[in-house]
Amino acid sequence: MAYVRTVKTASGARAVQIVHSSRRGSRDIEHIGSAHDDAALEALRAVARQRLAVGQPELDFGPDFAALQAGSGAGGAPLAITSSRMGYLWDALGHAYQLLGFEEAAGGDEVFRLLVLARIVEPTSKLDSLRVVEEAGFDPPAYATSSGVCPRSRT
């Protein structure tokens, strides 16, 4: 796992770094540069994000997804946001889940699907993901049902 961080230096500048960490707690820190003003800081952060994105191609969800990204408002304009609703995000993630073949791989297990989508929306524990499912407007499965979820256990 890698992430971008900003730290204050002894001289008062702000350093931008990419931290590559492993599960065992070891870290490899790549120094991108130091900035003394906000514009230079944003430029360094952009460079760091680009370095993180190298070798990570964008997923192609096909022409239907491209049309959704372009917006389906009048004249191709983006849709106006009239309220905040997690349902749109949930629907998009569910569509991606299906396109990537996870639904078939999990044998159509709806509890597994709910937990996967919830943990993408908010990376959290399995128990707390039930709260996210409820906030998305769905009835969460019982904890006893979700605690044994593993698509590999299906035959």
SS (H, E, C) the chain: CEEEEEEECCCCCEEEEEEEECCCCCEEEEEEEEECCHHHHHHHHHHHHHHHHCCCCCCCCCHHHHHHHHCCCHHHCCCCCCCCCHHHHHHHHHHHHHHCCHHHHCCCCHHHHHHHHHHHHCCCCHHHHHHHHHHCCCCCCCHHHHCCCCHHHCC
Query: 28 or 58: whose pLDDT is higher?
Result: 28
Q: How confident is the model at residue 151 (pLDDT cuts 50, 70, 90)?
A: very low
The model's pLDDT over 116-148, given as tens digits with 9 standing for 90+, comes to: 999 998 888 888 888 888 888 888 888 776 665
Q: Domain check: are 148 and 77 in the same one? A: yes
Q: Domain check: are 18 and 91 in the same one? A: no
Interhelix angle 86-99/63-70, nearest 10 degrees: 160
The reply to whether 58 falls in a domain is no
Q: Domain check: are 24 and 92 in the same one? A: no
The reply to whether 94 falls in a domain is yes
* Mean pLDDT value across the chain: 80
The model's pLDDT over 71-88, given as tens digits with 9 standing for 90+, comes to: 554 455 555 656 556 778
Q: Domain check: are 77 and 111 in the same one? A: yes
Q: Domain check: are 49 and 67 in the same one? A: no
The boundaries of the domain holding residue 18 are 2-53
Q: Domain check: are 24 and 94 in the same one? A: no
Number of domains making up the chain? 2
Query: 63 or 102: whose pLDDT is higher?
Result: 102
Q: Show which of 34, 53, 72 is a domain's final residue.
A: 53
Amino acid in position 74: A
